[in-house]
């Protein structure tokens, strides 16, 4: 039995990526990686680190996988993307129809600008696809170079807590690589369930774990159970902060230096972006001298928030908000609504463009936009 590689463009693409692999072969980040089947059970979150390393959040096994995609040929000026019925395109590439797939996350490789999609299929098999020059390719999850680390205190899925184990999917709600660490938000098995982990990368079996508490001004109470939905990392006056967004929709700052192992940390709520809504993704762009954050949402348009406004907001929201904007309770740092609605996935495409997966007339379109 021999593979007829030369006749099939799909496998040619694999050869191309193997050729690209040479670039990171001697990288210290991947020297402890092993090759084989990582046995990934689910993919709910994707996030790129350096050198084309893709972090995969597998809530089912409460594990973060670092995948060496070997996709690290730089592209400085990526092509425009405007693909209508993109969900149909993915379904066709998988030999099925839209009703049998669910796109769970999207991440742009900041080096190659290739776009990665995690797909949940009807029987739960996780699939990872890559969009390269308008063509979809499969990224094998069977024979890859990878490393992994398991979260220390994930929310349980044991039968003992049957009434609650369905929450296991929230073990990893978001993750980001920053300065040699993978930061992970989610739900833990602790009394204060909302948690945050910082994990040194390359993985070395160490991780710092903190539980979180916020004042939810739209609810008028302190809360510990809801997980961070999405977060970014920013620097304010030389100090690093997690800018975390929660459902319904508080925006909260946590100083990274306070996130010590075993500590329970109270965040500083700086904004209520509107009740009855959940954030999806947060990204940032530098526009002139000003850093601006962009937040996509389930029930509201994409919102823009200026870092300078966050810096100028000195206090912490500790009282219920009563002001309403379009029926939703808002307060604190102001956000501007942008004309982008029904954005189901969002990531940074290049220094000026965001990549948006937008639901329109029942289908998903993929397009880059300068926000």
- The whole-angstrom separation of Cα 145 and Cα 203 is 14
Residue nearer to other proteins on the CB measure, 181 or 268: 268
204 CB neighbour count, 10 Å cutoff = 10
Contact flag: residue 107 with other proteins (CB under 8 A): no
Minimum separation from the CB atom of position 290 to other proteins (A): 31
Give the contact letters, 248-267, x = binds to other proteins (CB under 8 A), - = no: x-------------------
Residue nearer to other proteins on the CB measure, 96 or 133: 96
Contact flag: residue 94 with other proteins (CB under 8 A): yes
Contact flag: residue 93 with other proteins (CB under 8 A): yes
Phi/psi for 281 (5° steps) reads: -135, 150
Phi/psi for 71 (5° steps) reads: -105, 80
Among 76, 77, 163, 257, binds other proteins (CB under 8 A): 163
Q: List the 101-108 sheet strands across, edge first.
A: 101-108, 115-121, 126-132, 135-138
Contact flag: residue 121 with other proteins (CB under 8 A): yes
Among 148, 181, 268, 329, binds other proteins (CB under 8 A): 329
Contact flag: residue 125 with other proteins (CB under 8 A): yes
Handedness of CA 39, 45, 50, 52 (dihedral sign): positive
Give the contact letters, 211-250, x = binds to other proteins (CB under 8 A), - = no: -------xxxxx-------------------------x--
Q: Please, which of residues 174-213 interact with other proteins by CB under 8 A? A: none
- The whole-angstrom separation of Cα 229 and Cα 248 is 10
Q: How far is CA 180 from CA 60, 174, 203, in A?
A: 25, 17, 10
Span from 64-72, 238-246, 322-330, 354-362 in contact with other proteins (CB under 8 A):
322-330
Which residue shows structure tokens 């003992």? 160
Contact flag: residue 124 with other proteins (CB under 8 A): yes
Residue nearer to other proteins on the CB measure, 2 or 77: 2
Which residue shows structure tokens 């979150």? 45
Q: What angle do CA 343, 345, 222 make, to 5 degrees?
A: 85
Radius of gyration of the CA atoms of the chain, in A: 20
Q: Are 224 and 211 in contact (CB under 8 A)?
A: yes
Among 22, 35, 39, 96, binds other proteins (CB under 8 A): 96
Helix (H) or strand (E) holding 41: none
Among 48, 116, 117, 170, binds other proteins (CB under 8 A): 170
Name the token pair of 10: 């799909």
Contact flag: residue 268 with other proteins (CB under 8 A): no
Name the token pair of 199: 């994990």
Contact flag: residue 73 with other proteins (CB under 8 A): no
Q: Are 141 and 130 in contact (CB under 8 A)?
A: no
Residue nearer to other proteins on the CB measure, 157 or 181: 157
88 CB neighbour count, 10 Å cutoff = 15
Span from 27-35, 48-56, 97-105, 176-184 in contact with other proteins (CB under 8 A):
97-105
Contact flag: residue 341 with other proteins (CB under 8 A): no
Contact flag: residue 169 with other proteins (CB under 8 A): yes
Q: Are 153 and 186 in contact (CB under 8 A)?
A: no
- The whole-angstrom separation of Cα 36 and Cα 1 is 21
Residue nearer to other proteins on the CB measure, 245 or 275: 275
Which residue shows structure tokens 């990934």? 40
Q: Please, which of residues 47-66 interact with other proteins by CB under 8 A? A: 59-60
Interface with other proteins by CB under 8 A: which residues? 1-4, 7-8, 10-11, 44, 59-60, 89, 92-97, 99-102, 120-125, 127, 129, 136-138, 157, 159-163, 165-170, 218-222, 248, 275-276, 278, 298, 327-329
């Amino acid at each position: 039995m021999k593979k007829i590689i030369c006749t099939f463009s799909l496998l040619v693409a694999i050869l191309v990526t193997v050729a690209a692999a040479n670039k990171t072969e001697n990288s210290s980040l991947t020297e402890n990686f092993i090759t084989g089947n990582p046995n990934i059970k689910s993919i709910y979150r994707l996030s790129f680190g350096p050198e084309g390393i893709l972090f995969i959040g597998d809530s089912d096994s409460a594990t973060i996988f670092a995948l060496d995609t070997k996709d690290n040929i730089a592209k400085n000026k990526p092509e425009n993307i405007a693909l209508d019925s993109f969900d149909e395109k993915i379904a066709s590439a998988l030999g099925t129809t839209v009703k049998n797939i669910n796109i769970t996350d999207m991440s742009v490789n900041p080096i190659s600008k290739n776009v990665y999609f995690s797909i949940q299929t009807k029987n739960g098999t996780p699939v990872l696809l890559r969009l390269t020059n308008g063509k979809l390719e499969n990224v094998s999850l069977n024979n890859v170079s990878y490393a992994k680390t398991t979260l220390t205190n994930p929310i349980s899925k044991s039968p003992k807590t049957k009434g609650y184990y369905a929450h296991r999917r929230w073990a990893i709600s978001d993750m980001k690589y920053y300065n040699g660490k993978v930061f992970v938000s989610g739900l833990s098995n602790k009394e204060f369930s909302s948690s945050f982990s910082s994990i040194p990368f390359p993985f070395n079996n160490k991780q710092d774990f903190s539980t979180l508490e916020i004042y939810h001004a739209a609810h008028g109470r302190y809360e510990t159970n809801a997980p961070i939905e999405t977060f970014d990392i920013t620097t304010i006056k030389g100090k690093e902060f997690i800018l975390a967004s929660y459902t319904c929709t508080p925006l909260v700052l946590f100083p990274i230096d306070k996130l010590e192992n075993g500590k329970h940390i109270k965040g500083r709520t700086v904004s209520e972006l509107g009740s009855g809504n959940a954030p999806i993704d947060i990204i940032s762009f530098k526009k002139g001298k000003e850093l601006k954050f962009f937040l996509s949402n389930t029930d509201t348009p994409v919102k823009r928030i200026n870092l300078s406004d966050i810096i100028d907001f000195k206090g912490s929201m500790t009282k219920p908000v009563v002001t309403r904007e379009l029926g939703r309770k808002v307060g604190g740092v102001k956000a501007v609504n942008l004309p982008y609605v029904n954005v189901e996935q969002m990531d940074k495409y290049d220094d000026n463009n965001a990549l948006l997966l937008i639901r329109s007339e029942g289908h998903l379109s993929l397009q880059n936009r300068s926000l």
